[in-house]
Amino acid sequence: MRRGLATLTAAVLTAGSLTACGGDDAGDAPVPKIGVILPDSATSDRWETADRKFLESAFQKAGIQFDIQNAQGDKSAFQAIADQQITNGATVLMIANLDSGTGKAVLDKAKAEGVATIDYDRLTLGGSAEYYVSFDNTQVGKLQGDGLATCLTKLKAQKPIVAELHGSPTDNNATLFKEGYESVLNPLYANGTYVKGPDQAVPDWDSVQAGTLFEQMLTQSPKIGGVLAANDGIGNAVITVLKKNKLNGKVPVTGQDADVTGLQNILAGDQCMTVYKAIKTEASAAAELAISLAKGERKDVTGSVVDPQTQRKVPSVLLPPQAIFQADVKTVVDDGFVTRDELCTEVYADACKQFGIE
């Protein structure tokens, strides 16, 4: 069972200031409370199926009070949740922002109220978070670029036209992923190995828009031979269009997040690869820092990133991502990130067997 903050409705009115104990706290010392705001549940399965689950269990293990909410892609809801959590006595706020503007507003307000903050997964540009916990996102992009190159080589593609579908322009991670895969692809365009095809950013990582954009790309350049798709949701939208054109399996497509659909597309041979990020490790690292902040301690971390907007050095934990091709799908299952049952449905049963997932 979740030990959330007091119900975030009328109870807000009775909650004390953030330094006081919430109405449900016994004893004199203020009980630390951690508020977490996740961005949405549509752009990637991870936020609800992995991040929430692993954060919950880390907080529960530590016996700390917490409240995890999801802004469902709504920026004003995001800010309202933050306000409520602060009013309800959160002493630490952890956010995966929807954009840097609203993220910064939330972080600045928290700071003004004496609430410590953590940027979770996405760096808030111009922000003020005490810590940033994520993966090495440029490396994520490099793995995608290298992965696409591996699959194109395997298909013996001759001077293929490569299309790129980037993540949301408001997500700093999308910028870093792009930096990573373009560091691989740009030299290959420059030396004539590949032809640079159309490239577009997908607003809000919205897979419906991704499908429309790719349909337009394919109409304009019917000979697209490879697609760098920034995550599995976008990849699946591309694969759906390729299927309609009987091109699936002939045009390698990348992804990210190792979600069930992405892994199934890989097993089916329709997706070249995905990038697995062990969210459990990310959630545990972030929870550990949040818990220490809630206790008024400050843990040292070895990494840092520089906020490109302010040049501020943000103490960071950056975890290593992992490329997943057909033969590696098994490792994602072995890691407990997806279950064999959800992955190996009837259609994929043979492929699961073939790749040792039993």
Binding site for ligand GAL (CB under 6 A): 43-44, 46, 121-122, 167, 171, 173, 205, 231, 256-257
| Residue 55 structure tokens | 């954060």
Give the residue at shortest CB distance from ligand GAL.
44
Q: Cβ of residue 134: shortest distance to ligand GAL, in angstroms?
A: 7
Least distance from C-beta 149 to ligand GAL, angstroms? Answer: 22
Q: Show Cβ contacts of residue 10 under 8 Å, excluding neighbours closer than 6 positions.
A: none
Q: For residue 329, what is the DSSP state?
A: H
In the complex with ligand GAL, which residue's Cβ is closer, 208 or 347? Answer: 208
Shortest Cβ 141–ligand GAL spacing (Å): 11
Nearer CB in complex with ligand GAL: 121/182: 121
CB 74, min distance to ligand GAL, A:
15
Would you say 39 or 315 has its CB closer to ligand GAL? Answer: 39
Q: How would DSSP label each residue in 55-90?
A: HHHHHHHHT-EEEEEE-TT-HHHHHHHHHHHHHTT-
Instruction: For ligand GAL, give the closer residue by CB, 120 or 194.
Output: 120
| Alpha carbon distances (Å) from 238 to 148, 173, 213, 280 | 14, 21, 9, 28
Residue recorded with tokens 């880390």: 58
Q: How far is the CB of 53 from ligand GAL (least distance, A)?
A: 15
Residue (173 or 248) nearer to ligand GAL, CB:
173
User: Helices in the chain by DSSP H: which ranges?
Assistant: 11-14, 46, 52-62, 75-87, 100-112, 137-154, 172-190, 207-220, 232-244, 260-267, 279-294, 329-334, 340-343, 349-354
SS3 180: helix
